[in-house]
Amino acid sequence: MRRDEATDRLLDLAARATARGELLDLIDTLYVYGAYTAGDADLDVVEISVEFTLDEQEHLRFAATFLDEQRDRRDDLVKALRGGGAATRALQIGFEDEPDLAARGLAPQLFWQRGDSVETARARLATPAR
Protein backbone atom coordinates (compact mmCIF):
# COMPACT_ATOMS: atom_id res chain seq x y z
CA MET A 1 0.00 0.00 0.00
CA ARG A 2 1.09 3.56 -0.55
CA ARG A 3 2.26 5.60 2.41
CA ASP A 4 -0.71 7.99 2.19
CA GLU A 5 -3.09 5.00 2.41
CA ALA A 6 -1.19 3.75 5.45
CA THR A 7 -1.49 7.18 7.06
CA ASP A 8 -5.26 7.15 6.44
CA ARG A 9 -5.53 3.76 8.13
CA LEU A 10 -3.51 4.97 11.11
CA LEU A 11 -5.79 8.00 11.40
CA ASP A 12 -8.82 5.68 11.30
CA LEU A 13 -7.34 3.83 14.29
CA ALA A 14 -6.78 7.13 16.08
CA ALA A 15 -10.40 8.11 15.38
CA ARG A 16 -11.71 4.84 16.85
CA ALA A 17 -9.48 5.19 19.90
CA THR A 18 -10.61 8.82 20.33
CA ALA A 19 -14.28 7.81 20.07
CA ARG A 20 -13.65 5.27 22.81
CA GLY A 21 -15.85 2.34 23.71
CA GLU A 22 -15.86 -0.66 26.02
CA LEU A 23 -12.38 -1.96 25.20
CA LEU A 24 -11.08 1.15 23.45
CA ASP A 25 -11.26 3.00 26.78
CA LEU A 26 -8.29 0.89 27.92
CA ILE A 27 -5.88 2.23 25.30
CA ASP A 28 -3.16 4.56 26.55
CA THR A 29 -0.97 4.96 23.47
CA LEU A 30 -0.61 3.88 19.85
CA TYR A 31 2.82 3.62 18.22
CA VAL A 32 3.75 2.93 14.62
CA TYR A 33 7.12 1.42 13.75
CA GLY A 34 8.96 -0.55 11.09
CA ALA A 35 8.76 0.39 7.42
CA TYR A 36 6.40 3.30 8.14
CA THR A 37 8.82 5.06 10.49
CA ALA A 38 11.69 4.21 8.14
CA GLY A 39 9.95 6.44 5.60
CA ASP A 40 9.21 3.75 3.00
CA ALA A 41 6.86 4.94 0.25
CA ASP A 42 5.31 1.49 -0.31
CA LEU A 43 4.48 -0.75 2.62
CA ASP A 44 3.44 -4.41 2.77
CA VAL A 45 2.27 -4.04 6.35
CA VAL A 46 1.88 -1.24 8.90
CA GLU A 47 3.16 -2.27 12.31
CA ILE A 48 1.38 -0.81 15.32
CA SER A 49 1.92 -1.29 19.02
CA VAL A 50 -0.83 -0.69 21.55
CA GLU A 51 -0.15 0.12 25.18
CA PHE A 52 -3.11 -0.22 27.49
CA THR A 53 -3.93 -0.24 31.19
CA LEU A 54 -6.31 -2.57 32.96
CA ASP A 55 -8.14 -1.54 36.08
CA GLU A 56 -8.82 -4.29 38.61
CA GLN A 57 -12.26 -5.11 37.19
CA GLU A 58 -11.00 -5.33 33.60
CA HIS A 59 -8.02 -7.40 34.73
CA LEU A 60 -10.47 -9.92 36.20
CA ARG A 61 -12.48 -9.93 32.94
CA PHE A 62 -9.33 -10.60 30.91
CA ALA A 63 -8.36 -13.47 33.23
CA ALA A 64 -11.88 -14.96 33.27
CA THR A 65 -12.14 -14.85 29.48
CA PHE A 66 -8.83 -16.63 29.16
CA LEU A 67 -9.70 -19.29 31.73
CA ASP A 68 -13.33 -19.83 30.68
CA GLU A 69 -13.06 -19.47 26.91
CA GLN A 70 -9.36 -20.15 26.33
CA ARG A 71 -8.95 -16.92 24.38
CA ASP A 72 -6.99 -13.77 24.89
CA ARG A 73 -9.20 -10.71 25.35
CA ARG A 74 -6.47 -8.65 23.65
CA ASP A 75 -7.81 -10.19 20.43
CA ASP A 76 -11.13 -8.47 21.19
CA LEU A 77 -9.26 -5.21 21.73
CA VAL A 78 -7.57 -5.59 18.33
CA LYS A 79 -10.95 -6.25 16.66
CA ALA A 80 -12.46 -3.17 18.30
CA LEU A 81 -9.51 -1.05 17.22
CA ARG A 82 -9.53 -2.36 13.64
CA GLY A 83 -13.24 -1.79 13.22
CA GLY A 84 -13.48 -4.50 10.56
CA GLY A 85 -13.17 -4.38 6.82
CA ALA A 86 -10.57 -5.57 4.36
CA ALA A 87 -8.67 -2.28 4.58
CA THR A 88 -7.43 -3.19 8.04
CA ARG A 89 -5.79 -6.50 7.09
CA ALA A 90 -2.48 -4.81 6.36
CA LEU A 91 -2.37 -3.52 9.94
CA GLN A 92 -0.22 -5.67 12.19
CA ILE A 93 -1.28 -4.80 15.74
CA GLY A 94 0.74 -5.98 18.72
CA PHE A 95 1.33 -5.15 22.34
CA GLU A 96 5.06 -4.58 22.79
CA ASP A 97 6.04 -1.66 24.99
CA GLU A 98 7.77 1.31 23.39
CA PRO A 99 11.07 0.74 25.27
CA ASP A 100 11.19 -2.88 24.03
CA LEU A 101 10.63 -1.78 20.43
CA ALA A 102 13.28 0.92 20.75
CA ALA A 103 15.74 -1.54 22.29
CA ARG A 104 15.29 -3.73 19.20
CA GLY A 105 16.08 -0.73 16.96
CA LEU A 106 12.54 -0.47 15.54
CA ALA A 107 12.15 3.30 16.06
CA PRO A 108 8.58 3.43 17.40
CA GLN A 109 6.79 6.73 16.79
CA LEU A 110 3.96 7.80 19.08
CA PHE A 111 1.02 8.84 16.94
CA TRP A 112 -1.86 8.84 19.45
CA GLN A 113 -2.29 8.89 23.21
CA ARG A 114 -5.34 9.08 25.41
CA GLY A 115 -6.81 12.59 25.27
CA ASP A 116 -5.45 13.34 21.79
CA SER A 117 -7.57 14.41 18.87
CA VAL A 118 -7.27 12.92 15.41
CA GLU A 119 -5.68 16.20 14.30
CA THR A 120 -2.92 15.72 16.89
CA ALA A 121 -2.34 12.23 15.48
CA ARG A 122 -2.25 13.67 11.95
CA ALA A 123 0.37 16.24 13.02
CA ARG A 124 2.52 13.56 14.65
CA LEU A 125 2.36 11.35 11.57
CA ALA A 126 3.35 14.31 9.38
CA THR A 127 6.50 14.75 11.47
CA PRO A 128 9.22 12.25 10.46
CA ALA A 129 10.44 9.87 13.15
CA ARG A 130 13.84 10.61 14.62
Across the chain, mean pLDDT equals 87
User: How far are the Cα atoms of 11, 25, 33, 62, 98 from residue 104, in angstroms, in the given order?
Assistant: 25, 28, 11, 28, 10
CATH number at residue 15: 3.30.460
Q: What is the pTM of this model?
A: 0.85
Q: Is 17 exposed, middle or buried (0-12, 13-18, 19+ CB in 10 A)?
A: buried
119 in helix, strand or coil? helix
Number of structural domains, the chain?
Answer: 1
Taking only the tens place, the pLDDT of each residue in 27-55 is 999 999 999 999 888 998 999 999 998 88
pLDDT of residue 88: 62
How far apart are the C-alpha atoms of 6 and 12, rounded to whole Å? 10
pLDDT of residue 27: 92
Its domain, for residue 26, covers 3-126
Q: What is the mean pLDDT of each run of 10 residues along the chain (130 residues)?
A: 92 91 88 92 92 84 79 81 69 91 93 96 84
pLDDT of residue 60: 84
pLDDT of residue 67: 81
pLDDT of residue 129: 62
